[in-house]
A and B are shown apart, each in its own frame.
Chain A
Amino acid sequence: MIDIQQVTKEFSGKTAVKNLSLTVEDGKIFGFLGPNGAGKSTTIKMITGILPIEQGKITINGFDITEHPLEAKKRIGYVPDRSDVFLRLKGIEYLNFIADVYDVPTDIRKKRIEYYAKSFGIYESLNDHILTYSHGMRQKIVISGVLLHEPEVWILDEPLTGLDPKSSYTLKEMMREHANKGNIVFFSTHVLEVVEQLCDEVAIINNGHIEFLGNMSEMKQQFQEDDNLEKVFLELTQNE
């Protein structure tokens, strides 16, 4: 379970996230929807321990990210929005590094590396430096790295940007599968359509606070009643 309580983040006077609270139950795919600059990445960075939390509290399956960072981080698999991974490593070295960090035994990592790299069609590039990968390939190697340790909580920041349709489909399938096993999948996007296809629960964030929290059918209803939300909706549908 992800539990976010009253979290606030300021950047030199500008508030990026204001008093944000939400919880995500196990086995759910949670869509974090919002236009560019809404505060999605900032929130995700606080959940994953990249940004220190100034006010509020975040726990991952009972472990506070500030107080027990290692325990919490072990349970998280994070796919960043930028693919600035360790570019000078070869694909296989990167995956092996990740497996070491998250304590994946050798025989299991062998099986999984082969399985995921082949599913994404990057198996034959594993012996090349990540530097030579395209954006989509980098995304795929990071995703493979995350799935390698089967995290209880899978967090993805705009994961579908830059993926080709086939990989996009594969990834969505994997997200579904992962959630069906009882894990959490939490991802951000600025595309309404993706949320409609995939999510069990949705939060809509704008200007750093949550405008809506609920399931899909509730969301559609709200759009028609709430003026403010309609504006957000327009912004989201005009995108792409």
Chain B
Amino acid sequence: MNKTWKLVRTIVKMQFSLAGKSTSEQIGYAFLFIFAIPFSIFIFYAIDGIVGGLYNILEPAGNESFILGLLFISMFVVLILVSVGSILSSFYFAEDIESFLSLPYHPFQIMLGKSAVPFITLYVTNAAVLAPGLIVFGMHSGSGVLYYIYALILWTVTPVLPFVLTAIIVMYGMRFLNLSKNKDRMKIFAGLFTFIFIIGINIVLRMNNSSTDAGEDLACLIEEQNGLLNTITTFFPTAYLHSITLTDPVSARGFLFLVLSLIIIACAFVLYLTAGQKLYFKGVLGLSGGSKKKFDEEKITKKIKQSNVLFISWVREMRTIFRTPTFFTQIIVQSLVFPVLFIVVILFDSNGGDFSISSLGSMVEEIEPKRFILAMTGFTVFALGINPASISSISRDGKSWFNHLYMPIKAETVIMSKVWAAFCINLLTLLVIGAVAFIFANIPIGIGVIWFGMSLIINWITSVAGTTLDLYTPNLQWTDEREVFKGRLIGILALIIEVVVFGSIILFLWNVDWLEGLWMTSSILTAAFILLSFVCHLILKKVIRTHYYSIHQ
């Protein structure tokens, strides 16, 4: 036990160490921390609004447990979402895995060590959403000390179950995938797996909801105490137990359910350790070995063909992103998080919330076209704002950057191939969002086309801007690909710049009176964006001139 603890501590220390970080980065962290304070106040008020509103509606019929149920379920889903990526990268794709394999530890001990950092990530999420939610609920229900004690216990154990379940499934999947001995396909499969899983959960939930006639049944359910809770928690027994415990903390049932929750979680944890012992190494061991494929001469000759330098450079970028596990999870998977959340929101809310399918459709008709277009544009900026492919354009090359310098390729060609790569990856995000909006919310074709056109320009701007920023302050001296993303403020910087620039354009147009109508608004917006992309190109050109040949020194 003591040995395991030492391992965990060492791994955590290595990850969070500030050693080797420049003072500017440390100042950056301090800023982040200061930023977090108003942000958390904002979250708290937002949650207070939602929970308070729901509480007033549901409390009369004794259905306030529904709020907690919803809270725990959404937490469950969010925690799974967060887990998958971090488990994959920490358990399997981290470069330091090999150095741990040689240490005299059991597989489950190493797995525990490797769990620490992803687990801490979960607690951050947990603290940001669940904690204020529980506090707000306690305030509204006027509960006593016991509620807060139980709430603290449940808050502490909430991340365990989603994490453990995800880890078991991932480990099982990785073992199976490893047997197939195909590294490339495996990585892509691992990424897609997340989405199939999430979408699967959604479909199950949706089927459950839509099979009942929403309006009438809702009325019945509201009259019945805890009726709503019973319906939504069918697939999440622990959410049910947690919610009952907290709505009724003083009763014997409350205590019983708390104990039951803890037992379930403890069992899951034991299962997790067993699974780790049995499965973890099986997935890891094959990873570093590299499989010996049969040599196929024809395959080689087929690959030899002539193509354009910009195109082949773009192909190289895409290959690098798809083949490097860290880049794959950080770029492809990350850029799909937002569209998937969008799907979750739309599908979850299928029974009449603000974002539900039907209300989105009617919203289109009700809202002024100008505001609708502006709002959609704002939404797109957010969806594309953190553009991990563009802000890592240069840094991804790391120490091999110098290869661009001696080859007879124009600097502009190299950079543009990177911009195109970022653009294409974001296009994926756009297509997913577009398809979902198109299929589920009856958005008129005209508006859809305008949105898509506008999104392409926004996508281009963010790709150019992100690449420019990365060329301005790249991190080429990494030894582990994760350093390209970790501990760099460039992502937030890019988002802030984009939100400020696009936000002021949108805000300005929102408030001017002379601007009205769909076509006029979108024309002006398009004109503004084209101008903006022109400016971005000018800046990029300047940064290429000043930085391209000097960043590697």
Contact B408 A70 (CB under 8 A): yes
| Binary B-proximity of A210-239 (CB < 8 A = 1, otherwise 0) | 000000000000000000000000000000
| Binary A-proximity of B530-553 (CB < 8 A = 1, otherwise 0) | 000000000000000000011011
Q: Closest residue to A102 on the B side, CB-wise?
A: B408
- A-chain residues with CB within 8 Å of residue B402 when the two chains form the complex: 45, 50, 80, 84
B410 at the interface (CB under 8 A from A): yes
Contact B295 A96 (CB under 8 A): no
Contact A124 B295 (CB under 8 A): yes
| Binary A-proximity of B302-325 (CB < 8 A = 1, otherwise 0) | 011111110011001001100110
Distance in Å: Cβ of B373 to nearest Cβ of chain A: 41
A48 vs B403: C-alpha distance when bound (angstroms): 10
Contact B408 A86 (CB under 8 A): no
Asked if A78 meets B312 with Cβ closer than 8 Å, knowing A93-B303, A100-B306, A127-B296, the reply is no
Distance in Å: Cβ of A79 to nearest Cβ of chain B: 10
Contact A132 B406 (CB under 8 A): no
Beyond contacts A73-B406, A106-B305, A128-B290: 8 other A-B pairs, Cβ-Cβ < 8 A, are: A11-B553, A48-B406, A50-B552, A73-B407, A89-B320, A99-B304, A100-B306, A132-B290
User: Which A residues fall within an 8 A CB radius of B?
Assistant: 11, 45, 48-52, 69-71, 73-74, 76, 78, 80, 82, 84-89, 92-93, 95-102, 105-106, 109-110, 113, 124, 126-129, 132
- A-chain residues with CB within 8 Å of residue B408 when the two chains form the complex: 69-71, 73-74, 101-102
A76 vs B406: C-alpha distance when bound (angstroms): 8
| Complex partner residue of A78 from B305, B406, B549, B550, CB under 8 angstroms | B406
Asked if A49 meets B406 with Cβ closer than 8 Å, knowing A84-B400, A89-B319, A105-B306, the reply is yes
Asked if A127 meets B295 with Cβ closer than 8 Å, knowing A50-B402, A110-B301, the reply is yes
Asked if A93 meets B319 with Cβ closer than 8 Å, knowing A48-B406, A50-B402, A84-B400, the reply is yes
B9 at the interface (CB under 8 A from A): no
- A-chain residues with CB within 8 Å of residue B308 when the two chains form the complex: 100
A124 vs B320: C-alpha distance when bound (angstroms): 22
Q: Closest residue to B400 on the A side, CB-wise?
A: A84
Q: Closest residue to B407 on the A side, CB-wise?
A: A101
Q: Closest residue to A149 on the B side, CB-wise?
A: B408
- A-chain residues with CB within 8 Å of residue B313 when the two chains form the complex: 97
Contact B304 A113 (CB under 8 A): yes
Asked if A52 meets B549 with Cβ closer than 8 Å, knowing A74-B408, A92-B300, A100-B307, the reply is yes
Contact B553 A51 (CB under 8 A): yes
- B-chain residues with CB within 8 Å of residue A80 when the two chains form the complex: 402-403, 406
Distance in Å: Cβ of A46 to nearest Cβ of chain B: 11
Distance in Å: Cβ of A30 to nearest Cβ of chain B: 18
A78 vs B300: C-alpha distance when bound (angstroms): 24
Distance in Å: Cβ of A72 to nearest Cβ of chain B: 8
Q: Would you list 30 pairs from A and B whose C-beta atoms are within 8 A, ordered by A residue?
A: A11-B553, A48-B405, A49-B406, A50-B402, A50-B552, A51-B553, A70-B409, A70-B410, A80-B402, A84-B399, A84-B400, A84-B403, A85-B403, A86-B400, A87-B400, A88-B324, A96-B303, A96-B304, A96-B312, A97-B316, A98-B407, A99-B304, A100-B306, A100-B308, A100-B312, A106-B304, A109-B306, A110-B301, A113-B304, A127-B296
Q: Closest residue to B322 on the A side, CB-wise?
A: A88
Q: Closest residue to B405 on the A side, CB-wise?
A: A50
Distance in Å: Cβ of B298 to nearest Cβ of chain A: 10
Q: Closest residue to B294 on the A side, CB-wise?
A: A127
- A-chain residues with CB within 8 Å of residue B305 when the two chains form the complex: 96, 106
- A-chain residues with CB within 8 Å of residue B407 when the two chains form the complex: 73, 98, 101
A87 vs B313: C-alpha distance when bound (angstroms): 14
B21 at the interface (CB under 8 A from A): no
A49 vs B323: C-alpha distance when bound (angstroms): 30
A124 vs B299: C-alpha distance when bound (angstroms): 11
A100 vs B308: C-alpha distance when bound (angstroms): 7
A171 vs B301: C-alpha distance when bound (angstroms): 24
Contact A49 B405 (CB under 8 A): yes
Contact A126 B406 (CB under 8 A): no
Distance in Å: Cβ of B416 to nearest Cβ of chain A: 15
| Binary A-proximity of B406-418 (CB < 8 A = 1, otherwise 0) | 1111100000000
A50 vs B550: C-alpha distance when bound (angstroms): 9
- A-chain residues with CB within 8 Å of residue B304 when the two chains form the complex: 92, 95-96, 99, 106, 109-110, 113
Contact A106 B553 (CB under 8 A): no
Asked if A86 meets B316 with Cβ closer than 8 Å, knowing A49-B405, A96-B304, A127-B293, the reply is yes
Q: Closest residue to A83 on the B side, CB-wise?
A: B400
Ranked nearest first, the 3 interchain pairs of A and B with the lowest CB-CB distance are A73-B408, A48-B406, A74-B408
| Complex partner residue of A52 from B316, B410, B550, CB under 8 angstroms | B550
A51 vs B552: C-alpha distance when bound (angstroms): 9
- B-chain residues with CB within 8 Å of residue A48 when the two chains form the complex: 405-406
Contact A100 B400 (CB under 8 A): no
